[in-house]
Structure 1
Amino acid sequence: MSFPWAEHYAPKHPLMRYLDEKLPLPRLVYNAVGAGYPVPRNLNYFWNFGVLAGAALAIQIITGVILAMHYAANGTVAFDSVEHIMRDVNSGWLIRYAHANGASMFFIVVYTHIFRGLYYGSYKAPREMVWLLGVVIFLLMMATAFMGYVLPWGQMSFWGAQVITGFFSAIPVVGDPIRMWLLGGFAPDNDALNRFFSLHYLLPFVIAAVIVLHIWALHIPGSNNPTGVDVKGPQDTVPFHPYYTAKDGMGLGVFLIVFSLLLFFAPNALGHPDNYIPANPLSTPAHIVPEWYFLPFYAILKSFTGNFLGIAAKLWGVMAMFGSILLLFFLPWIDRSPIRSASYRPMYKWFFWVLVADVLFLGYLGQAEVTPTVVLLSQLCAGYYFSHFLIIIPLISKFEKPLPLPNSITEAVLGHPAPAAA
């Protein structure tokens, strides 16, 4: 979006003028996160989570590069190399725990970012491309995290790779070749470790590239806001710097405090103790579970226990697991309501919080031992998840009576319209 009232970059120092002419990086930064980028004046702290996601990715890349200097992607020594990092490398324990817990913090931030987008309608026109690129980032994160979970080569790493890649074999005709291509053989071994290590190292840089596209796509229509009302003039905006750089700095400080508490006082709270046992192909753990951020999708996968329409339960589970994420790609066209923010959609708001509770309960069911009761609850919760997007949202779009919208962002902030600036 072009903001005619935005402050334009005009360097005064001769060196900066020369640099702006030959390589306009200062202008790019100024227009992206400086006074040259006006943003709605009513953004709340939920808009901090985009910057926090970038900070979490930076932590992962820095710690990951350092860990790669000491890690050995070989089945005979991979587990020992991780122990070497923990015990012998200077501050290796800190780097390893920061990387492991940084992944959890990254997913916490991104899940909050996604649900904020769902609540405030950030997926609606004209920001569909911003949303679609965000879903691509989410898929890349999941692939990167899965491959990273395999690298310590503990019991959960080995058997997680065995189980998750085994789901591809449910796909007719091409399933087994895909699984063998991923593993480099019939079972997780040296070839699988080399593949996963290479891709785990590469994909964060791909994520960073897609984030650049994500931010670029965001700057074309401009940021959404809690009211969902479009910007109508300079009275509705403030420069990104210093107003939101200060606000993001506050959010980043809180993020780092929470991250430090987790890192120094409970570094193994979100991990699994079986992963401190070396991988043993002859000893299957009693209860195989993925990392916590995969648990809702794992519960959807496990909810299919019987064949249906001639299709095996395993294939139904795989299709449902991937379908639960791919649904998000179509959300901008599923929700036809012209109102963006749930603050003015009373029915949608109620069902949104039901969805949040449903996903949290799916996460609990994903780590629970499989019993008839757990399977039944997983089926009910998975059914609601798909019903929310495929049935409830389209019906709400037709029959909901929204609350009156404010005439402008300024009116929503001040309670009365402000005179338009010249």
Structure 2
Amino acid sequence: MLEKMLNTKFAQWLDERTHVVQYVRFHLLDYPTPKNLNYWYAFGSIALVVLIIQVLSGVFLAMDYKPAAVPTGNGFSMAFDSIERIMREVNDGWLIRYMHAVGASAFFFVIYLHMARGMYYGSYKKPREFLWIMGVMILVIMQATVFFGYLLPWGQMSYWGATVITNIFGAIPGIGDWLLQLVRGGYGVGDPTLNRFFALHFLFPFILIAFVFWHVMALHVVHSNNPEGIEPSKKGIIPFHPYYTVKDLFGIGVFLIVYSWFVFFDPTGHGLIIETNNFNPADPLKTPPDITPVWYLTPWYEILRSVPNKLLGIVGMAFAYVCLFLMPWLDRSPVRSARYRPVYRTMLLVFFASIGVLGYCGHHEVTPELLLIGRIASLVYFAFFALLPFVHKFEKNRPLPEDI
């Protein structure tokens, strides 16, 4: 069907003036791809689908959302009241909001799996270092985007979550107080903060799209890695279409089924996607007993709060991101895939487990036991990167295949 569309007279007329058909053929239909890619490689395409859902649903929500913390006649803020209006009065507003809320969690779930696959198969190694850096940048921009969007409902958890997180800026020596007031637009979280965050939440997705485009273009220069982690011969290369378009469409279909189930039957995710307390309007005079971020930010938050000193906690959290950026140069093994690296594979599984433990601890109220567990998990996280440059010296790799 796609081939027929590209052979129409209109397509030929357009191609003579824009080369769009040549572009589609080069970057999609005839794009050379290793023949042994599994379904773990479908998460990149799934992430693109979720990004489209998030941008479109966000635009529709912005049409009825009012970024103002001033109270209305019913005593609620305009922001909180506009969310209620979207849910109750706007045609299909509840559906669009739940698509956006569930989509945020789905986006991070897919991206984390996408990155885990890249780490397992060594997709960060030469010549794909820049591709990996762009991927980590995409993660950071995503986290900034959801942080700005988290305040917009102006619910109880939104308000206090933003208060706690923005307090981090105040711990920076010298410029902390100035930076804190700049972010908030005043001495506390209020109407100027909401306006700033709404503008940034609307802006950052377009920055994200630019980085995603750059990420895809970098991929099409160095081409896809494969589960074996070796460069394939000509016999191991097949065109992307129709083999992987069908495979990706199947993966996207399965994802949309699971995504739709959450949208229609469990949009709050039992408090993981939308906290129960966030259905209550923001009250600056009543602090919630347990203030924690959404699940996809909890590992980084736990690293932050595991350190007793606030400034050192910020340094630790920032260093956690720096380690991800440096991974292509920390891992000095000539072998890419963890399939042939038993020690690295074990370390990687322990690393993934430490992130899960950090996420669990960060989602719960601080207790002495969870604080100790969180600190141990933080040490395991950093120990993985500290040991990475030395693994190749004592690791006995399995023999690599000659071809895929």
TM-score (norm 1): 0.91
State the SS of the aligned residue for 1:220.
Answer: helix
Structure 2 spans left out of the alignment, 5+ residues: 1-5, 71-77
Letter aligned with residue 377 of structure 2: C
**Aligned partner letter, 1:358:** S
- In the TM superposition, what whole-angstrom CA distance separates every residue of 1:98-155 from its partner, at most 9, and x where no partner exists? 1001000000000000111110000000001110111111100000011111100001
For these two proteins, the number of residue pairs brought into alignment is 390
Distance 1:15 1:262, change over 3 A: closer
> In 2, distance between residues paired with 1:327 and 1:71?
38
Residue in structure 2 matched with residue 372 of structure 1 by the alignment: 368
Q: Which residue identity is paired with 1:60?
A: Q
| 1:24 paired to 2:19 | yes
The aligned residue for residue 63 of structure 1 is 57
- Match of 2:33, SS state, is strand
1:384 aligns with 2:380: yes
Q: Give, in angstroms, the shift of residue 12 of structure 1.
A: 5.6
SS in 2 for 1:267: coil
Matched, 1:295 2:298: yes
Partner of 1:284: 287
Paired residues for 1:3-152 under 5 Å: 14-34=9-29, 36-76=30-70, 77-152=78-153
Distance in 1 (CA, whole Å) between partners of 2:201 and 2:177 is 22
Output aligned runs, 1:324-339, within 5 Å: 324-339=320-335
How far residue 19 of structure 1 moved from its aligned partner, in angstroms, is 2.1
1:154 aligns with: 155
**How far apart are the structure 1 equivalents of 2:346 and 2:85?**
51
Match of 2:397 among 381, 396, 402: 402
Task: Report deviation, 1:397.
Answer: 2.2
In structure 1, give the amino acid aligned to 2:62: A
Does the residue aligned with 2:142 lie in a helix, a strand or coil? helix
Q: TM-score, normalised by structure 2?
A: 0.95
Is residue 64–residue 82 contact of structure 2 (8 Å, CA) maintained in 1? yes
Q: Which amino acid aligns with 1:396?
A: V
Preserved CA contact (<8 Å) 2:294 2:363 = no
Q: Residues of 1 paired with 2:237 and 2:292: CA distance?
A: 47
Summarize deviations over 1:347-386 as a string: whole Å, max 9, x none. Answer: 1111111111111111110012211111111111101101
Give CA deviations for 1:250-291 in whole Å, capped at 9, x if unaligned.
000000000011111111112211101111111110000101
Superposed displacement of residue 189, structure 1: 0.8
Match of 1:355 in 2: 351
Question: Residue 12 of structure 2 contacts residue 21 of structure 2 at CA under 8 Å; is this kept in 1?
Answer: no
> What SS class does the counterpart of residue 282 from structure 1 fall into?
coil
Equivalents in 1 of 2:300, 2:166: separation in Å?
A: 15
> Counterpart amino acid of 1:303?
S
For residues 7 and 55 of structure 2, what CA distance do their matches in structure 1 show? 36
Shift of residue 16, structure 1, vs aligned partner? 3.2
Query: Where does residue 193 of structure 2 map in the other structure?
Result: 192
Paired amino acid for 2:343: M
d(CA) in 2 for partners of 1:28, 1:297? 40
Where structure 1 has 5 or more consecutive residues not aligned to the other structure, the ranges are 1-10, 306-312, 410-422
Amino acid at match of 2:35: R
The RMSD of aligned alpha carbons is 1.2
- 3-state SS in 2 of match to 1:225: coil
The corresponding residue for 1:250 is: 250
Q: SS at 1:39's partner residue?
A: strand
Task: Pick which of 136-145 and 393-402 moved more.
Answer: 393-402
Name the CA distance, whole Å, in 2 between partners of 1:330 and 1:41.
30
